[in-house]
């Protein structure tokens, strides 16, 4: 399994955060390459010389502020490499005020605050990666709520679909799925209303029932949230 | 919808129903910067009467940038009264769920913020409502006091926030516009948190009657050295501008690259700078190295260690601490290290610190510190005198001179004058003794039957006659200035003890310096 690369120039800050959250990053050595201290200096030099081998990594996490001013070019270089190889990139910094997610073709980039990165979200993310081999970027940003984010996005699309098809009585099921990414809910094991589909068609009222059931799921998720 | 504006992310299917629209498309920049530099100017330009915003403006619903945008509109002062426009949040959720998702949801309970389903029917219904205008005078009660904007999460950067906030305020008052100040302003002006702070704590440069507050510069003269790891972020420019208003003050910054510097390097270089520049006053930060931020022992903070180093060079160098720390235990303990006072940098969470008060305090402290600059010379004289082989009694008197002057006692100059005269009396006792003759007292040379001459003062045994005769006949010190000084100090001493009406002369630091130098000359001659 390819590793996750973490590049951090502020070793003591990382230690402080880890003490605070009670996470030992050494426990994840099999999947995490934590470049701090001397290892950071080496990897930094390698970036500058443009001879770093990205092929060993499934994802790159970089402290954004480590590359300021004259060294910003190095950060652009990392981003370009990740983009070309479709390696998800996470940039973190204490100065990032609101988390930001960007998806361009097959390249995914997430910018988030240092405190969000060095939190229980990171533990959840690493354990999920170790178990499934999947990069759950949203876990880093939303932690326990990562599923909820997908459900909310889906619900918004369903509501838009209803609004744009409100004058129609029946809907082509495939069209509905294409517009709403409804299929994602199945893989997340979300409880929702199972519509009646006849010959590839369903009534708009069935779609409305789906929307209602998802709204209920969201309400219950938030009500019983730990 | 007449004169309406919709801000969307291609997720409002009936967008062509609105008079104007803005597509929200941030591209790789900080979201607050994007809103401030792209969206807010467009709103200003389009001049709508009502703004509709989709709650989700990105590919991740949970980001809820729509809510963030609502806050920006209400808190962006550049929008003027337009920041009070009615806003409708188009959402797939109700207000209670939005509040569970984000604490920012509380804005939905403030004046003229509405929530509606993302459907044309819901919007048409809103369109029929008669919305009363949100008046400026209700801004605090109906909006500002009902919301809260949290600072960026990384608690380790709070020191930076405080620093940037204080720089912003000081620079505004002093109208400093240097590169560092502009950079600081650009960095923070777009941040929602700072917009909130600014709304909560406006910079009241102009008073209600139109009179402007102008920070008064110090009045005294001298050399000021500034030592702070944040100097390049704008503080150096701010203080330079502040002191430039008094041409008698020479201001210098210790321009060290603190970022990658270890504590011992900072300490030794700061000490060297003090030795070379010989400042009268130092404005010093408390935390100057990375290690200081995790240091729990106050005495081991770099600032405190530099205080000790400066006091070792010359304890008369006055020190004002300029610090971001708000802990009163730390601040009060600073006095134990001999500082003159401290200035607490404004902190977003401590509204008790006023920038105006800080300027007043700084002026008072600087003037007080520069008033004491003569003490540096006093200390140097004392140091040289104490290197001589003196009787213990004289040593004690000499040592007390600096200690007395370095207090805030009203009569400190008088006490110092007495200590100098006492030293002179001790000298006279080394060379002369008194004997009674026919009911009268006379001064004789020690262990001799020879009376001393009576060329000075009223009587042969007066202190003035004794010391000046010693100078003439034993030390061969005929310097007229020394004689004049002796005459003066003894006269003033006598007048102070037995004041004649209206004749008490005020002793100044210049008097003390002349007399102390005179004593030094006499003692050096004795040593020879």
Question: How close B51 gets to chain A, by Cα (Å)?
Answer: 20
- Residues B249, B236: Cα–Cα separation, whole Å: 15
A11 touches chain B (CB under 8 A): no
Number of compact structural domains in chain A: 2
Cβ–Cβ below 8 Å for B60 and A96: no
Question: How close B195 gets to chain A, by Cα (Å)?
Answer: 13
Cβ–Cβ below 8 Å for A116 and B13: no
Is residue A204 domain-resident?
yes
Half-sphere exposure of B280 (CA within 13 A, CB side): 22
**CA neighbor of B346 nearest in space, from B171, B215, B164, B75:** B164
Is residue A140 domain-resident?
no
Is residue B213 domain-resident?
no
Q: A163 and A197: one domain?
A: yes
Beta bridge partners of A59: A4
pLDDT over threshold 70, residue B215: yes
Is residue A48 domain-resident?
yes
Contact B43, B82 (CB under 8 A): yes
Q: B182 and B139: one domain?
A: no
Question: How close B292 gets to chain A, by Cα (Å)?
Answer: 12
Residues of B with CB under 8 A from a CB of A: 11, 13-14, 26-28, 30-32, 56, 58-63, 65, 68, 92-93, 97, 100-101, 117-120, 152-157, 160, 191-193, 290, 294
Cβ–Cβ below 8 Å for B120 and A163: yes
Interface test with A, best of B152, B192, B295 (most A CBs within 10 A): B152
Is residue B31 domain-resident?
yes
Kind and range of the H or E run holding B306:
helix B302-313
Cβ–Cβ below 8 Å for B118 and A156: yes
ipTM for the complex?
Answer: 0.85
pLDDT digits over B186-199, tens only? 888 899 999 998 89
Cβ–Cβ below 8 Å for A163 and B68: no
Q: What is the largest CA-CA distance in chain A?
A: 66
pLDDT over threshold 50, residue A51: yes
Cβ–Cβ below 8 Å for B153 and A163: no
Question: How close A133 gets to chain B, by Cα (Å)?
Answer: 23
Is residue A113 domain-resident?
yes
Comparison of pLDDT for A28 and B435, the residue scoring more: A28
Banded pLDDT at B502 (limits 50, 70, 90): low
Q: Which residue among B345, B374, B403 closes a domain?
A: B374
A145 touches chain B (CB under 8 A): yes
| Chain A residue with Cα closest to B193 | A97
Mean per-residue pLDDT over chain B, rounded: 89
Q: A36 and A101: one domain?
A: yes
Q: A28 and A98: one domain?
A: yes
Cβ–Cβ below 8 Å for B154 and A99: no
| Chain B residue with Cα closest to A145 | B62
Question: How close A64 gets to chain B, by Cα (Å)?
Answer: 12
Q: A121 and A155: one domain?
A: no
pLDDT digits over B149-171, tens only? 988 776 445 567 778 889 999 99
Banded pLDDT at A10 (limits 50, 70, 90): confident
Residue A33 is predicted with a pLDDT of: 95
Interface test with B, best of A41, A100, A104 (most B CBs within 10 A): A100
Q: A88 and A154: one domain?
A: no
Q: Which residue among A113, A135, A157 closes a domain?
A: A135
pLDDT digits over A192-217, tens only? 999 999 999 999 999 999 999 999 99
> Dihedral sign, CA of B218, B219, B220, B222?
positive
Is residue B39 domain-resident?
yes
A100 contacts on B by Cβ (under 8 Å): 26, 30-31, 58, 63
Q: Which residue among A81, A115, A135 closes a domain?
A: A135
Q: How far out from the chain centre does Cα B295 lie?
A: 22
Q: How many inter-chain contacts (A to B, CB under 8 Å) are there?
A: 104
Q: How confident is the model over B119-145, as a mean pLDDT? A: 93
Is residue B120 domain-resident?
yes
Q: B349 and B380: one domain?
A: no
B90: left (phi over 0), alpha (psi -120 to 50) or beta: beta
Q: Which of B30, B117, B157 minimises the CB distance to A94?
A: B157
Contact A119, A161 (CB under 8 A): no
| Chain B residue with Cα closest to A143 | B62
- Residues B126, B107: Cα–Cα separation, whole Å: 18
Is residue A142 domain-resident?
no
Q: B328 and B444: one domain?
A: no
B156 contacts on A by Cβ (under 8 Å): 13, 16, 94, 114
Q: B87 and B66: one domain?
A: yes
Residue B456 is predicted with a pLDDT of: 84
pLDDT over threshold 90, residue A94: no
Structural domain boundaries, residue B134: 4-146
Q: B128 and B169: one domain?
A: no
Question: How close B24 gets to chain A, by Cα (Å)?
Answer: 13
Residue B76 is predicted with a pLDDT of: 96
Q: B274 and B193: one domain?
A: no
Cβ–Cβ below 8 Å for B153 and A115: yes
Cβ–Cβ below 8 Å for A97 and B61: no
Is residue A74 domain-resident?
yes
Is residue A141 domain-resident?
no
Q: A158 and A121: one domain?
A: no
A9 touches chain B (CB under 8 A): no
Q: Which of A13, A148, A223 minimises the CB distance to B62?
A: A148
Question: How close A122 gets to chain B, by Cα (Å)?
Answer: 15
Residue B156 is predicted with a pLDDT of: 47
Cβ–Cβ below 8 Å for B65 and A95: no
Domain CATH number, residue A43: 3.40.50
Banded pLDDT at B208 (limits 50, 70, 90): low
Kind and range of the H or E run holding B65:
helix B65-75
| Chain B residue with Cα closest to A14 | B156
Structural domain boundaries, residue A168: 147-223
Q: B188 and B306: one domain?
A: no
| Chain A residue with Cα closest to B31 | A98
Banded pLDDT at B225 (limits 50, 70, 90): very high
Q: A97 and A7: one domain?
A: yes
A194 touches chain B (CB under 8 A): no
Q: How confident is the model over B283-300, as a mean pLDDT? A: 84
Banded pLDDT at B205 (limits 50, 70, 90): low
Question: How close B261 gets to chain A, by Cα (Å)?
Answer: 14
- Residues A221, A151: Cα–Cα separation, whole Å: 11
Q: Which among A65-79, B275-289, B443-457 has the top mean pLDDT?
A: B275-289
Range with the lowest mean pLDDT among B28-32, B207-211, B245-249, B430-434? B207-211
Interface test with A, best of B154, B156, B193 (most A CBs within 10 A): B154
Q: A121 and A78: one domain?
A: yes
Comparison of pLDDT for B457 and B331, the residue scoring more: B331
Q: A28 and A121: one domain?
A: yes
Q: A20 and A121: one domain?
A: yes
Is residue B503 domain-resident?
yes
A225 touches chain B (CB under 8 A): yes
Question: How close A99 gets to chain B, by Cα (Å)?
Answer: 7
Number of compact structural domains in chain B: 4
Q: Which of B13, B30, B97 minimises the CB distance to A160?
A: B13
Q: Is B224 helix (H, G, I), strand (E, B) or coil?
A: strand
Q: Which of A115, A159, A164 minimises the CB distance to B154?
A: A115
A82 contacts on B by Cβ (under 8 Å): none
Contact A75, A18 (CB under 8 A): no
Q: What percent of chain A has pLDDT over 70?
A: 100
A86 touches chain B (CB under 8 A): no
Q: How confident is the model over B227-256, as a mean pLDDT? A: 94
- Residues A39, B222: Cα–Cα separation, whole Å: 50
A107 touches chain B (CB under 8 A): no
Is residue B522 domain-resident?
yes
Domain CATH number, residue B106: 3.40.50
Is residue B274 domain-resident?
yes
Question: How close A121 gets to chain B, by Cα (Å)?
Answer: 14
pLDDT over threshold 90, residue A59: yes
Cβ–Cβ below 8 Å for A155 and B14: no
Q: Which residue among B374, B396, B428 closes a domain?
A: B374
Q: A153 and A124: one domain?
A: no
Q: Which residue among A112, A135, A158 closes a domain?
A: A135
pLDDT over threshold 80, residue B27: no
Banded pLDDT at B370 (limits 50, 70, 90): very high
pLDDT digits over B71-116, tens only? 999 999 999 999 999 999 999 999 999 999 999 999 999 999 999 9
Residues in chain A: 226
A104 contacts on B by Cβ (under 8 Å): none
CA angle B324, B330, B331 (to 5 degrees): 65
Q: What percent of chain A has pLDDT over 90?
A: 62
Rounded to the nearest 5°, which phi and psi values hold at B238?
Answer: -65, -50
pLDDT over threshold 50, residue B234: yes
Q: Where are the alpha helices (DSSP H) in chain A?
A: 11-21, 37-48, 72-85, 114-117, 120-132, 137-142, 146-164, 173-180, 183-187, 204-223
Q: What percent of chain B has pLDDT over 70?
A: 97
Contact B271, B277 (CB under 8 A): no
């Amino acid at each position: 399994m390819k590793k996750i690369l973490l590049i951090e120039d502020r070793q003591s800050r990382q230690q402080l955060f880890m003490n605070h959250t009670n996470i030992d990053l050494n426990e994840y050595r099999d999947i995490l390459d934590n470049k701090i201290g001397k290892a950071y200096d080496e990897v930094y030099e390698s970036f500058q010389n443009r001879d770093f081998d990205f092929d060993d990594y499934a994802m790159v996490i970089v402290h954004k502020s480590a590359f300021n001013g004259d060294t910003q070019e190095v950060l652009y270089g990392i981003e370009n490499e990740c983009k070309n190889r479709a390696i998800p990139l996470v940039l973190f910094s204490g100065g990032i005020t609101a988390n930001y997610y960007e998806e361009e073709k097959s390249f995914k980039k997430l910018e988030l605050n240092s405190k969000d990165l060095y939190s229980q979200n990171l533990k959840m993310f690493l354990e999920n990666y170790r178990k499934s081999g999947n990069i759950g970027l949203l876990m880093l940003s939303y932690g326990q709520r990562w599923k909820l984010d997908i459900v909310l996005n889906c619900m918004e699309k369903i509501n838009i679909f209803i609004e744009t098809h409100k004058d129609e009585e029946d809907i082509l099921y495939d069209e509905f799925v294409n517009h709403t990414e409804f299929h994602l809910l199945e893989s997340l094991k979300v409880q929702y209303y199972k519509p009646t589909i006849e010959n590839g068609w369903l009534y708009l009222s069935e779609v409305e029932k789906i929307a209602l059931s998802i709204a209920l799921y969201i309400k219950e998720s938030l009500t019983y949230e730990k | 919808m007449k004169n309406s504006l919709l801000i969307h992310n291609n997720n409002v299917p009936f967008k062509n129903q609105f008079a104007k629209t803005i597509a929200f498309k941030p591209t790789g920049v900080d979201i607050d910067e994007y809103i401030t530099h792209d969206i807010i100017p467009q709103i200003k330009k389009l001049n709508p009467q009502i703004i509709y915003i989709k709650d989700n403006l990105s590919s991740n619903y949970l980001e809820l940038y729509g809510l963030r945008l609502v806050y920006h509109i209400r808190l962006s002062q550049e929008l003027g009264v337009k920041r009070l426009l009615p806003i409708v949040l188009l959402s797939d959720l109700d207000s209670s769920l939005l509040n569970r998702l984000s604490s920012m949801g509380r804005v939905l309970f403030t004046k003229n913020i509405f929530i509606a389903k993302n459907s044309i029917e819901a919007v048409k219904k809103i369109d029929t409502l008669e919305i009363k205008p949100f008046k400026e005078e209700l801004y605090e009660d109906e909006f500002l006091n009902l919301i809260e904007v949290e600072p960026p999460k990384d608690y380790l950067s709070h020191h930076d926030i405080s620093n940037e906030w204080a720089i912003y305020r000081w620079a505004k008052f002093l109208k400093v516009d240097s590169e560092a100040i502009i950079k600081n302003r650009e960095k923070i002006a777009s941040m929602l948190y700072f917009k909130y702070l600014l709304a909560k704590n406006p910079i009241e440069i102009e008073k209600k009657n139109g009179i402007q507050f102008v920070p008064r510069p110090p009045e005294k003269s001298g050399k000021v050295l500034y030592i702070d790891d944040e100097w390049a972020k704008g503080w150096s420019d701010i203080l330079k501008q502040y002191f430039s208003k008094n041409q008698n003050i020479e201001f210098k910054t210790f321009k060290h690259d603190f970022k990658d510097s270890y504590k011992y390097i900072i300490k030794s270089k700061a000490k060297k700078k003090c030795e070379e520049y010989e400042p009268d006053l130092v404005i010093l930060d408390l935390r100057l190295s990375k290690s200081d931020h995790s240091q729990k022992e106050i005495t081991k903070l770099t600032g405190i260690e530099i205080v000790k180093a400066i006091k070792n060079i010359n304890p008369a160098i006055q020190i004002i601490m300029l610090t971001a720390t708000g802990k009163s235990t730390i601040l009060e303990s600073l006095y134990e290290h001999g500082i003159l006072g401290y200035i607490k940098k404004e902190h977003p969470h401590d509204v008790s610190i006023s920038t105006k008060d800080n300027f007043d305090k700084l002026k008072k402290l600087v003037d007080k510190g520069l008033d004491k600059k003569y003490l540096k010379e006093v200390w140097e004289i004392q140091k040289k005198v104490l290197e001589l082989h003196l009787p213990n009694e004289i040593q004690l008197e000499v040592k007390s001179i600096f200690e007395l002057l370095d207090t805030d006692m009203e009569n400190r100059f008088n006490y110092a004058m007495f200590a100098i005269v006492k030293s002179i009396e001790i000298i006279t006792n080394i060379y002369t003794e008194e004997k009674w003759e026919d009911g009268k007292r006379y001064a004789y040379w020690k262990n001799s039957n020879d009376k001393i001459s009576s060329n000075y003062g009223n009587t042969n045994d007066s202190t003035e006659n004794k010391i000046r005769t010693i100078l003439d006949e034993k030390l061969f010190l005929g310097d007229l200035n020394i004689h004049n000084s002796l005459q003066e100090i003894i006269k003033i001493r006598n007048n102070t003890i037995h004041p004649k009406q209206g004749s008490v002369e005020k002793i100044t630091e210049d008097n003390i310096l002349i007399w102390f130098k005179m004593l030094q000359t006499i003692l050096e001659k004795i040593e020879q």
